[in-house]
Amino acid sequence: MPENEDYAATITAPAFARSEGLRSLLVRLHEAGPGAWKTDREARALIEFSVEKYRRLALKWDRDPADVGHAVFVAMQGEWIRKAHDPWAEITTAVQRELKAEATAERLLISTSKARRRAESDFPRPVRASEHEEFLFDIIGEAVASAAVDGAEPSSPSARRAARVLAALGWPPAIAETVVEYVVARLSALGDRGRAFESLRRDEGIPAQLDMPRRQWTRLLRLLLGAPAQPGVPAPRGLLVRLVLGESTDDLLADDDLVLEIVAIAPGVLR
């Protein structure tokens, strides 16, 4: 007998690891009725086998390997899988499509069903905002610097929209615009979110002019810039980054926690 790991694997692998064996199992489960998937030991083994089989594919798209189990189960219910020339090949395609749709939905802040319908099917590997958070703040800062050079008010689309969100929830528009522009300008000058946060947190000028207590001012900075990063712990995204990532005003106003925080720290509320 050849002492070869691949050969040994083909000997010890379950029958459903091959397309014909998979087809036979799926036909049997289909004929046994819906309850068979809950009680059949081979069905459970098939899902566990599938999760391991597609683990690397899940990690490629930054998904939890456990998510594969659901995608596989849904795909295996289709009659087209049982009749396919190569069921495993069809399942691989279906799982890959689902993982890409989920990753794309998260990246573009849209629903998974909408991501599946998008015409652009070949997206690059998604990049998480936490991997390049400072780059996102650079986008805001560069827009501010560019506007200042052109002689315009130091503003950016994200800053203007952030001010509108605050104003929509009871902030006086003039105060909302002032604090957002001030924070973005400091961010642009320092070029680093952490340094900007600490500098602004110690700032006494603007909070005093706006009659904002220190606690209220610090909460506003967390709201706009996100909480200070800690080793190994992803920091919650601030309002400015969420806007850069493409969230609409309606998306933000649908976030109950965000709305409650904006209302809670509005001028005149905290004293």
More confident residue, 36 or 115: 36
**Model confidence over 83-115: pLDDT tens digits?**
888 999 899 988 888 888 887 777 666 677 676
Question: Are the beta carbons of 144 and 240 closer than 8 angstroms?
Answer: no
Length of the chain: 271
The answer to whether the predicted template modeling score (pTM) of the entire model surpasses 0.85 is: no
Q: How confident is the model at residue 229, as a pLDDT?
A: 59
Apex 138 CA angle, 135 and 141, nearest 5: 165
Tell me the pLDDT band of 45, cut-offs 50, 70 and 90.
very high
The Cα 91–Cα 22 span in angstroms is 11
CB distance 126 to 62 below 8 Å: yes
The tokens for 79 are 């009659």
Which pLDDT does position 235 carry in this prediction? 58
Computed over every residue of the chain, the mean pLDDT equals 76
Q: State which amino acid sits at residue 161.
A: R
- Asked if the model's pLDDT at residue 11 lies above 60, the reply is no
Q: What distance in Å separates the CA atoms of residue 30 and residue 218, rounded to the nearest whole number?
A: 59
Q: What is the tens place of the pLDDT at every residue in 186-241? A: 877 776 777 888 888 888 888 888 888 888 899 999 999 887 655 555 556 788 88
**119 has pLDDT over 80:** no
CB 140 within 8 A of CB 240: yes
Domain ranges (residues) in the chain: 5-117, 129-264
Q: What is the pLDDT of residue 88?
A: 93
Task: Answer whether residue 8 shows pLDDT above 60.
Answer: no
For residue 7, the 8-state DSSP code is: H
The pLDDT tens digits for 50-77 are 989 988 888 887 778 777 888 888 889 8
Q: Where are the alpha helices (DSSP H) in 87-238?
A: 87-108, 112-117, 133-149, 157-168, 173-190, 193-202, 205-209, 214-225
> What Rg, from alpha-carbon coordinates, does the chain have?
26
Supply φ then ψ for residue 13, to 5 degrees: -65, 145
